[in-house]
Amino acid sequence: MTSNTHPEVAASGQADVPSADARRPAEVPFIQAFWFWLKLGCISFGGPAGQIAIMHTELVERRRWISEKRFLHALNFCMVLPGPEAQQLATYIGWLMHRTRGAIVAGALFVLPSLLLLVLLSWVYIAFGHLPVVEGIFYGIKPAVTALVLHAAHRIGTRALKNRWLWGLAAAAFVAIMAFSAPFPAIVLAAALIGHLAGRRWPQLFTASAHGAAQRGYGPALIDDDTPTPAHALFSRARLARVLAVGGGLWLAAMGMLVAWHGWQGTLAQMGWFFTKAALLTFGGAYAVLPYVFQGAVEHYHWLNAQQMIDGLALGETTPGPLIMVVAFVGFVGGWLHNVLGPDTAFWSGAVAATVVTFFTFLPSFVFILAGGPLIETTHNQLRFTAPLTAITAAVVGVILNLALFFAWHVWWPRGFGGGMDIASVAITLLAAVALFRFKLGVLPLLGGCALAGLALRLVLQ
């Protein structure tokens, strides 16, 4: 969410524009959209860039459910919101096409396959993680994750840090969290305040380049550039009040049930509260909020340890859906270890905790889209990034770099600095970095190759 230039769309293969069909597509039945969103949830690998590229190919080029201009307009809105922009974009388009039920189905199905798969993989990890084969796979994947986080810092940094002032802000955030253990929310708030004040005095520091003109040639779309905003997408104060009331009511009802069950200090209630705050701080994508999740889940609540968190991120990278779904792994492990449903219910304790965490993490995204969508649909003009958001994104780069170093420390020195460096892990990390930076290797082939390397090393060393 750092630039109005969309490499995600550029990566979707626009160079090969299909021959235009002069006929406007027919209205899409809700059941047809349902099956598409389910399919999307099962194939949405590759992080936000890959997920947005898939949606562009399917919705703009192939099916022509929405024009590119309207697609980019919605994407701009989603990129300035906290939360996973790809999931929010699916929610937005589902809402535009089929009202609230379309938003709920599109957004929920984007997440549900990943939740089910992560619950299964988390159970395998907890129950069988001590087996040599599983240990070997994770031994190779963890260095790859270190390289992926470093690559994310570089990718976001090259898009966000457009001048020396923003570089300085990123460096300050890095020092604040690394040297002074500043909490992530404090860094976000400080960056927003600095951006607000500096933007008023020196607005040129925060000027973002606009994306190029929308590519044409796909033929008319069902929701085209000149298609009037549907009645359900028109702004009204009454509708806004209903959305906020329902969203707030759902949150209060769910939290009330958890508090009534085990009290405010209960594990599930604390998970719901913590991940609600995390959902409101995900400016810059999942990598940006992971330090906050580390601080809370690992250091404060002790739901899992640092090594388990790194393993969870590795699992999140290998499943479809938003990367922030790593929080489901955090919930599963925390629920399992704390037996939130009582003794002899380890699996169901983990599954319920993972579901609770997912609900509280994604509920704000639905409220943002249903509440803010009508405001965005009042005009089809391009959104501009504000100075506070630009400053936040710059600070996020420093935070992600600190996360990469944190991972490297735990992966390269698994027993601490006194225990000696794990040379094999260092070598896998460096090879993974070369594959990412030099050869642009995809995430899944990278993880697969590193997993095989780790498994081979472990079997040889046994």
pLDDT tens digits, 136-150:
887 888 888 788 878
Lowest average pLDDT, out of 31-35, 46-50, 56-60, 65-69, goes to 46-50
Token couple for 314: 């590795």
pLDDT of res. 282: 67
For the chain, give me the number of helices (H) and strands (E)? 17, 0
**In this model, does residue 213 exceed pLDDT 60?**
no
- The contacts of residue 280 (CB under 8 Å, 6+ apart) are 82, 364
Token couple for 322: 């938003």
- DSSP-assigned beta bridge partners for residue 223: 66
- The contacts of residue 71 (CB under 8 Å, 6+ apart) are 9, 55, 56, 59, 60, 93
Cα atoms in the 13 Å half-sphere on the side-chain side of 319 = 28
**In this model, does residue 19 exceed pLDDT 70?**
no
pLDDT of res. 259: 96
CB 148 within 8 A of CB 316: no
Residue 143 CB-density burial (10 A; 0-12 exposed, 13-18 middle, 19+ buried): buried
Give 8's pLDDT tier (boundaries 50, 70, 90): very low
Of 228-237, 248-257, 307-316, 390-399, highest mean pLDDT: 248-257
Specify the higher pLDDT residue, 8 or 184: 184
Residue 29 CB-density burial (10 A; 0-12 exposed, 13-18 middle, 19+ buried): exposed
Lowest average pLDDT, out of 2-6, 71-75, 94-98, goes to 2-6
pLDDT of res. 382: 40
| Nearest in space to 423 (alpha carbons), one of 408, 409, 412 | 412
Give 209's pLDDT tier (boundaries 50, 70, 90): very low
Specify the higher pLDDT residue, 290 or 173: 173
**Is the pTM here over 0.95, yes or no?**
no
- DSSP-assigned beta bridge partners for residue 66: 223
H helices present in 296-442, as ranges: 306-317, 326-338, 346-377, 387-412, 423-437
pLDDT of res. 247: 96
**In this model, does residue 456 exceed pLDDT 60?**
yes
Q: How far apart are CA 211 and CA 89, in angstroms?
A: 17
Token couple for 320: 């479809």
**In this model, does residue 3 exceed pLDDT 50?**
no
| Nearest in space to 184 (alpha carbons), one of 298, 85, 269, 84 | 298
Crossing angle of helices 30-43 and 47-55, rounded to 10°: 150
